[in-house]
């Protein structure tokens, strides 16, 4: 398949490397974050992969949707705009697959955290919190992956009602609050951990990214899946939809 890459930073370059090494796909077009993008920019492409920044993604979205080429989105920081983006995708009759993190390892980790949160839910003795570490150039805080994990924990554990990412100096954390801590440090690719604690136990579930190729490879696989899904059932998809189908 022919992939159009929107954004050619560190992640875009990794995706290009994966495609070049694949022997079956090709980089059809590269459009950097400050490129002038129109519907015709994607003529002849089979899939678009967007790794830019929030404002660039939202600005380029109408042109990408008008092209009718399915779009894999790894850009984060636009969760508040998601309902409107869903409406735009539906109106355009095309397809988007969004994930805050395309690493297959991370997504297996997230499902493990969700299951652990579900298993401790009946037992008041257990508490849970979450943390993440990323490089200092990362813009969103906490990371999209951490917020995704937090949402999954809230869905699985009714004792947790709200997410807090900053603690007040005048208020202790409540039992119904889920803390999500974020650290920005040097060149850390990405570290995520769920901490479960009781009077008698400490359980830690962690994922550490060794490099960016895992994220890029997952985005390419998601593109393969979305291109096929787009033909029969266009729509707004997430990594969960992809994994649910692959895992049966």
What are the residue numbers of the active site?
134, 138
Q: What are phi and psi of 66, to 5 degrees?
A: -65, -25
Question: Residue 107: exposed, middle, or buried by beta-carbon count in 10 A (0-12, 13-18, 19+)?
Answer: buried
Triad 104, 237, 214: Cα angle to 5°: 20
CB 169 within 8 A of CB 98: no
Tell me the three state secondary structure of residue 172: coil
Rounded-to-integer distance, Cα 182 and Cα 185, Å: 10
Extended strands (E) in the chain: 2-6, 26-31, 47-50, 71-73, 96-98, 127-134, 162-164, 177-184, 191-197, 202-208, 236-238
**C-alpha closest to that of 91 among 234, 227, 196:** 234
């Amino acid at each position: 398949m022919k992939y159009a890459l929107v954004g050619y930073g560190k992640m875009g370059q990794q995706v290009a490397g994966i495609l070049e090494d694949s022997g079956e796909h090709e980089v059809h077009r590269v459009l950097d974050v400050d490129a002038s993008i129109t519907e015709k920019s994607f003529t002849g492409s089979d899939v678009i992969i967007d790794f830019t920044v929030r404002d660039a993604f939202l600005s380029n979205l109408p042109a990408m949707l008008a092209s009718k080429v399915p779009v894999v989105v790894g850009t984060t920081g636009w969760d508040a705009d998601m309902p409107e983006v869903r409406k735009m995708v539906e109106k355009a009759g095309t397809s988007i697959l969004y994930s805050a993190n395309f690493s297959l390892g991370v997504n297996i980790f997230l499902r493990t955290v969700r299951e652990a949160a579900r298993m401790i839910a009946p037992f008041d003795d257990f508490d849970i919190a979450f943390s993440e570490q990323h490089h200092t150039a990362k813009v969103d805080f906490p990371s999209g992956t951490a917020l995704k994990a937090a949402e999954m924990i809230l869905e699985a554990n009714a004792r947790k009602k709200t997410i807090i990412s900053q603690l007040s100096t005048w208020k202790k954390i409540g039992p119904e609050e889920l803390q999500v801590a974020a650290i920005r440090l040097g060149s850390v690719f990405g570290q995520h951990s769920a901490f479960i604690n009781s009077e008698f136990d400490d359980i830690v579930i962690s994922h550490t990214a060794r490099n960016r190729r895992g994220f890029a490879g997952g985005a390419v696989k998601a593109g393969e899946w979305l291109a096929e899904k787009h033909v029969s059932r266009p729509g707004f998809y997430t990594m969960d939809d992809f994994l649910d189908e692959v895992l049966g």
